[in-house]
Amino acid sequence: MKIGATYLGNNECQFRVWSPLLKEVAVEIVSPNKRLLPMTKDDKGYWTVKAKDIPPDTLYWYQLEGEKTRPDPASNFQPKGVHEPSQVIDHSAYLWEDEDWTGIPFQEWIIYELHVGTFTPEGTFEAIISRLPDLKELGINVIEIMPVAQFPGARNWGYDGVYPYAVQNSYGGVNGLKKLVDACHQQGLAIILDVVYNHLGPEGNYVSEFAPFFTLTYNTPWGTAVNFDDAHSYGVRNFVIENALYWLKEFHFDGLRLDAIHAIYDLGAKHILAEIVEAVEVFSQQQGRPFYLIAESDLNDVRVINPQELGGHGMTAQWSDDFHHCVHTLVTQESLGYYQDFGSCQQLAKVLREGFAYTWNYSPSRRRYHGSYGGDRPPYQMVVCIQNHDQVGNRMLGERLTHLTSFDALKLAATTLILSPFTPLLFMGEEYGEDAPFLYFIDHSDPHLIEAVRKGRKEEFLEFHAEGEPPDADSIETFKRSTLNWEKRKEGNHKVLWDYYRELIQLRRQIPALYQREQYNSKISCVEEQKIICYYRWSDKSEVICLFNFHSEKMNYSLVIPNGNWEKRIDSSETKWNGKGAELPDYLNQSQTLTLLPYTAVLYEKKL
């Protein structure tokens, strides 16, 4: 059931809001022509009124029980922030120019995650457009933007959004977002949106005054859980399903990334994720092209991506945090918090074979068994990274890998990511070794809430034994420090790393053995003591060998190769990549002992 303010044309608008337990709801038109519009309730608790003399941009909110007024839970725009009236939007007014866009097959995706507010100095949707050609030249073909649902103030990661349908006003609003999506499609780039269905932010969160949107049955890290399986949950489920379709239909997004689905609790016979998948599949059929859904999950549960006929939810893909944690611990030697579960090359080799390191084996940090086997799913269904907003921004000082390891190790980590069979995700600035931190920042108006955030952040770092005070999340300086220094990509090691990423992405696309991501066509050997992984991949007419040395010292490795002539395609230790100088031969034609420099990666391709 479509909810919110739906502009019908000719200054006519339909208002619909779900409030099953209230006895009186009305629309209060704030401007122009202030007036009150009584609403009629149906048997499922939806209040509706159709009214004339409602031009686009009309400001309104709902009057509840003849007393208090609140913005629309399904507001499309909050021009004056989270506490003020909602605005009627005419989505048909925008003239799209992407009618020839047919999308990019998911198996080909290379995702670039960015935060709108810190990606450019302007911090707007339209400011991103001028940087799209650079990203395309790098080899990126999918942009993932962090959440843009209206949050309090002008700066936030986006996970404190309280109006899931409203585009953040400080980023440029509805038309600014549509212009960005349109520009992406015109330049051959797909674009997806990060959406949050596991909680709403604390400030401006009025939905519980309308209906039972939350349940006390479960708790999440952010408070009470969203009500997906308790009494009256049908209206909450519809709210979320309609939201997913709204972003795909009205904003032409190619897909959605669903935040932290492990905090979405639903014990009903049909999980809400499966119902979202079904709705999106119907929409895909109507549009004649696929739309994709990616789940962020720390459960290592293959049911998330298993087809529904196999008892799964049927999501297109899910994140594998194990890949990040394996690479991170190997190049930084960190072992605190959840990193205590990782640190061996054997684990990374297992991830490359099966998608997860924990497949129902004991997790020391969790103090329980964890995960399931993912090796029978196509590897492209695992989205992996070596940095993202969480793994950087949830550190007390927001350090990127640039701050935590050597330049050689950065190149090694990048090679492991891009040459993997999985779907790679880069975090903005990673491609040139950005050295500005990515910190946590907010712009709340409630001083008690601000203090609670400060306290909570400090407690969060106790597990990692962090000392000192976290940067003040409410300070505008914290926000400004997180803005990219984009021009650095043209100088020194920054340019070298950018060129190295571009070369890796080209190899990933050009070599059939790397392009094959439908199945695990690979053999992986690992020598733990030497911290070396040998990764052999093949397709029908192509074979490659990747060697990774995660040791801080030079190591000898006895390489056994299949018959044939093998040509070196990339070597991170070459001087062109600001390495110490290649010591490996350009060609191989027999099994031999090779000497690998510290933190290096090399790729050989069999010549036909």
Number of domains making up the chain? 3
State yes or no: 258 annotated in a binding site: yes
Predicted confidence band of residue 465 (pLDDT cuts 50, 70, 90): low
Q: Pick the range with the lowest mean pLDDT from 39-53, 107-121, 254-268, 461-475.
A: 461-475
**Which tokens belong to 236?**
């909450």
pLDDT tens digits, 166-207: 999 999 999 999 999 999 999 999 999 999 999 999 999 999
- Whole-number Å distance between alpha carbons of 455 and 208: 26
Residue length of the chain: 608
Q: Which residues pair with 6 in a beta bridge?
A: 14
Q: Is residue 233 part of a domain?
A: yes
Would you say residue 25 has pLDDT above 60?
A: yes
Q: Does residue 297 contact residue 262 with C-beta atoms inside 8 Å?
A: yes
Q: Is residue 319 part of a domain?
A: no
State yes or no: 232 annotated in a binding site: no
Regarding whether 190 and 84 lie in a shared domain, the answer is no
Would you say residue 149 has pLDDT above 90?
A: yes
Q: Where are the alpha helices (DSSP H) in 27-120?
A: 116-119
Using the 3D structure, point to which of 251, 271, 292 is the last residue of a domain. 292
Predicted confidence band of residue 518 (pLDDT cuts 50, 70, 90): confident
Token pair 């733990």: residue: 528
Q: What is the mean pLDDT of residues 472-477?
A: 96
Regarding whether 124 and 87 lie in a shared domain, the answer is no
Q: Is residue 546 part of a domain?
A: yes
Using the 3D structure, point to which of 292, 314, 345 is the last residue of a domain. 292
Count of CB atoms situated within 10 Å of the CB of 126: 16
Regarding whether 122 and 77 lie in a shared domain, the answer is no
Round the average pLDDT of the chain to a whole number and report it: 96
- Residue 517 has what pLDDT? 83
- Whole-number Å distance between alpha carbons of 392 and 534: 29
Q: Is residue 602 part of a domain?
A: yes
Predicted confidence band of residue 223 (pLDDT cuts 50, 70, 90): confident
Provide the 3-class DSSP secondary structure of residue 491: coil
Which residues are CB-contacts of 354 (< 8 A; sequence separation ≥ 6)?
A: 373, 374, 375, 520
Q: Does residue 441 contact residue 398 with C-beta atoms inside 8 Å?
A: no
Predicted confidence band of residue 274 (pLDDT cuts 50, 70, 90): very high
- Residue 184 has what pLDDT? 98
- Residue 464 has what pLDDT? 65
Q: Is residue 375 part of a domain?
A: no
Would you say residue 472 has pLDDT above 70?
A: yes
Regarding whether 276 and 210 lie in a shared domain, the answer is yes
Regarding whether 272 and 159 lie in a shared domain, the answer is yes
- Residue 100 has what pLDDT? 95
H or E element: which one contains 18? strand 12-18
**What is the amino acid identity at position 442?**
I
The alpha carbon of residue 310 and the mean position of all alpha carbons in its chain are separated, in whole angstroms, by 26
State yes or no: 392 annotated in a binding site: yes
State yes or no: 324 annotated in a binding site: yes
- Residue 3 has what pLDDT? 97
Predicted confidence band of residue 467 (pLDDT cuts 50, 70, 90): low
CB burial class (10 A; 0-12, 13-18, 19+) of residue 3? buried
Regarding whether 260 and 188 lie in a shared domain, the answer is yes
Domain that holds residue 228: 118-292
Q: Is residue 346 part of a domain?
A: no
- Residue 581 has what pLDDT? 97
Provide the 3-class DSSP secondary structure of residue 470: coil
Q: What is the mean pLDDT of residues 63-73?
A: 97
Q: What is the mean pLDDT of residues 338-354?
A: 97
State yes or no: 259 annotated in a binding site: yes
**Which of 160, 232, 229, 220 shows the shortest CA–CA distance to 196?**
160
- Its pTM stands at 0.97
Q: Where are the alpha helices (DSSP H) in 113-225?
A: 116-119, 125-129, 132-138, 173-186
CATH code: domain of residue 15 = 2.60.40.10
Q: What is the mean pLDDT of residues 467-496?
A: 94
Using the 3D structure, point to which of 55, 74, 92 is the last residue of a domain. 92
Regarding whether 211 and 145 lie in a shared domain, the answer is yes
State yes or no: 448 annotated in a binding site: no
Query: How much of the chain, in percent, has pLDDT values that exceed 90?
Result: 94
State yes or no: 323 annotated in a binding site: yes
Regarding whether 253 and 204 lie in a shared domain, the answer is yes
Give DSSP secondary structure letters for 202-258.
Answer: STT--GGGTS--EEEEEEETTEEEE-SSSTTHHHHHHHHHHHHHHHHHHS--SEEEE
Would you say residue 461 has pLDDT above 90?
A: no
State yes or no: 493 annotated in a binding site: no
- Residue 466 has what pLDDT? 66
Catalytic positions are 259, 296
Provide the 3-class DSSP secondary structure of residue 300: coil
State yes or no: 223 annotated in a binding site: no
Burial 216-249 (b: 16+ CB within 10 A, else e): eebebebeebbbbbbebbebbbbbbbbbbbbbbe
Regarding whether 153 and 276 lie in a shared domain, the answer is yes
**Which of 315, 327, 302 shows the shortest CA–CA distance to 192?**
315
State yes or no: 257 annotated in a binding site: yes
CATH code: domain of residue 271 = 3.20.20.80
Provide the 3-class DSSP secondary structure of residue 181: helix
- Whole-number Å distance between alpha carbons of 57 and 79: 10
Beta strand pairing status for 292-295 and 255-258?
Answer: parallel
Q: Does residue 84 contact residue 274 with C-beta atoms inside 8 Å?
A: no
CATH code: domain of residue 543 = 2.60.40.1180
Q: What is the mean pLDDT of residues 484-491?
A: 97
Would you say residue 491 has pLDDT above 60?
A: yes
Regarding whether 88 and 126 lie in a shared domain, the answer is no
Token pair 């991949």: residue: 537
- Residue 579 has what pLDDT? 97
413 DSSP 8-state letter: H
pLDDT tens digits, 359-382: 999 999 999 999 999 999 999 999
Q: Is residue 197 part of a domain?
A: yes
Give DSSP secondary structure letters for 191-218.
Answer: EEEEE--S---STT--GGGTS--EEEEE
Q: Is residue 65 part of a domain?
A: yes
- Residue 458 has what pLDDT? 79
Q: Is the bond preceding 164 in cis, omega lying within 30 degrees of 0? A: no
Crossing angle between the packed helical segments 233-250 and 272-287, to the nearest 10 degrees: 30
- Residue 463 has what pLDDT? 65
Q: Does residue 226 contact residue 213 with C-beta atoms inside 8 Å?
A: yes
Regarding whether 235 and 134 lie in a shared domain, the answer is yes
- Whole-number Å distance between alpha carbons of 19 and 63: 12
pLDDT tens digits, 414-444: 999 999 999 999 999 999 999 999 999 999 9
Regarding whether 271 and 216 lie in a shared domain, the answer is yes
pLDDT tens digits, 580-600: 999 999 999 999 999 999 999
Would you say residue 512 has pLDDT above 80?
A: yes
State yes or no: 129 annotated in a binding site: no
